[in-house]
């Protein structure tokens, strides 16, 4: 499966990016950040999207309890908000997406995409 590690300051648009990915996958569900549940899963016609928010994870054990590794090595798409907090747990094929606001507009973002070896 694909793993997208999303980073950026609070309010930079991480959840909005996940909403866009879900829309592209033809997922009609209401997408919300799983801040307190750690993961929400959504079915598309072709693949399952697992949306993680690890901002409030205080111990790695919380992730292992929900089967985090099984998600990462499955066939589905995993998008992880605040992924820099769990960087050491992510596989080498992870793609990193960094969002940052620009000076030009409150709605404009600079998006940087890198492979794990470039981060």
pLDDT in tens, 66-98: 999 999 999 999 999 999 999 999 999 999 999
Q: List, in sequence order, every residue forming a beta bridge with 50; answer none if it has no partner.
A: 41, 78
Binning pLDDT at 50, 70 and 90, where does residue 116 land? confident
Answer whether 0.85 is exceeded by the pTM. yes
Lowest mean pLDDT among 62-66, 89-93, 102-106: 102-106
Q: How far out from the chain centre does Cα 93 lie?
A: 14
* Predicted confidence (pLDDT) at residue 119 exceeds the cutoff of 70: no
Fold for 2-118, please state it. Rossmann fold (3.40.50)
**Contact residues for 6 (Cβ-Cβ < 8 A; gap 6+):** 14, 17, 18, 79, 80, 81, 82, 83, 97, 98, 99
* Predicted confidence (pLDDT) at residue 117 exceeds the cutoff of 90: no
Binning pLDDT at 50, 70 and 90, where does residue 18 land? very high
Domain ranges of the chain: 2-118
């Amino acid at each position: 499966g694909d793993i997208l590690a999303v980073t950026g300051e609070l309010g930079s648009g991480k959840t909005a990016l996940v909403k866009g990915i879900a829309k592209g996958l033809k997922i009609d569900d209401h997408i919300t950040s799983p801040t307190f549940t750690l993961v929400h899963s959504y079915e598309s016609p072709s693949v399952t999207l697992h949306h993680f928010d690890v901002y409030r994870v205080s111990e790695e054990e919380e992730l292992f309890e929900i089967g985090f590794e099984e998600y990462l090595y499955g066939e589905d798409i995993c998008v992880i908000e605040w992924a820099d907090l769990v960087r050491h747990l992510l596989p080498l094929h992870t793609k990193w997406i960094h969002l940052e606001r620009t000076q030009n507009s409150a709605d404009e973002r600079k998006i940087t995409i890198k492979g794990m070896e470039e981060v």
